Amino acid sequence: MVDMEIKREDILHLADLSDLSLTDEEVESLGKDLQDIIKYISQLDELDTKNVEPTYQVFEMENVWRNDEVVEQEADREALLALSEKSRDNQIEVPKVL
């Protein structure tokens, strides 16, 4: 993976996955940066991880059931709707979806 080449189409695909509309200059500069970063992180190849289980979190987890009750939230609907750039009639306004 160390010698993997990141092509322009790869950057455009990642930008699409990331919901970013990159400019042409950004495609170029991010392409170079990502190539460098991927080269660095690829050194993990050297590490022997045979028979090693993955770790995804370091919290000593235990499930906790909550009571089945309605809890008053800190912020009400009005305060939350007021955070949006555009809202009316208790709804958030966006441009056309389809």
Partner 1 sequence: MKTANKTVTAERLVRDALEKAEHFRDYNIFTYINKTGAIQKAREIDAKIARGEKVGRLAGVPYALKDNFLSPEGETTASAHILERFTSPVTATVVAKLEAEGAIMIGRTNLDAFAHGSSTENSYYGPTLNAFDQERVAGGSSGGSAVAVALDIVEFATGTDTGGSIRQPASFNGVYGLKPTYGCNSRYGVVAMASSTDCIGFFTKSPDDMDLLMSIASGRDPKDMTTLPDYYNNTKSGARLGDSRLAPARPSLRGSGAQSAPVVANVHETPTRRIGVIKDFDNKSVDSEIRNALKRKCETLKKKGYEIVELEMPALKYALAAYYIIVPAEVASNLSRYDGVRYGFRSDKSKDLDSLYENTRNEGFMPENKRRIMIGNFVLSSGFYDAYFLKAAKARTLILQEYEKAFEQVDYILTPVSPSPAFKLGEKANDPVAMYLEDIMSVSLNLAGVPGLAVPAGKTKAGLPIGLQLVGPRRSDKQLIEFAKELD
In the complex, least distance from residue 19 CB atom to partner 1, rounded to whole angstroms: 5
In the complex, least distance from residue 77 CB atom to partner 1, rounded to whole angstroms: 11
Q: Output the CA torsion 74→78→82→86 (10° steps).
A: 140
Q: What is the DSSP string of 56-75?
A: ---S-----PPPS-----SS
Residue placing its CB nearer to partner 1 in the complex, 49 or 90: 49
Contact predicate 6/35, CB 8 Å: yes
Spatial distance between the Cα atoms of 5 and 38, rounded to a whole number of angstroms = 9
> Which residues of the chain form contacts with partner 1 (CB under 8 A)?
1, 11, 14-15, 17-23, 26, 29-30, 33-34, 36-38, 40-47, 49, 52-62, 64, 74-75, 79-80, 83-86, 92, 94-97
Token code pair at residue 80: 């939350």
In the complex, least distance from residue 93 CB atom to partner 1, rounded to whole angstroms: 9
In the complex, least distance from residue 14 CB atom to partner 1, rounded to whole angstroms: 5
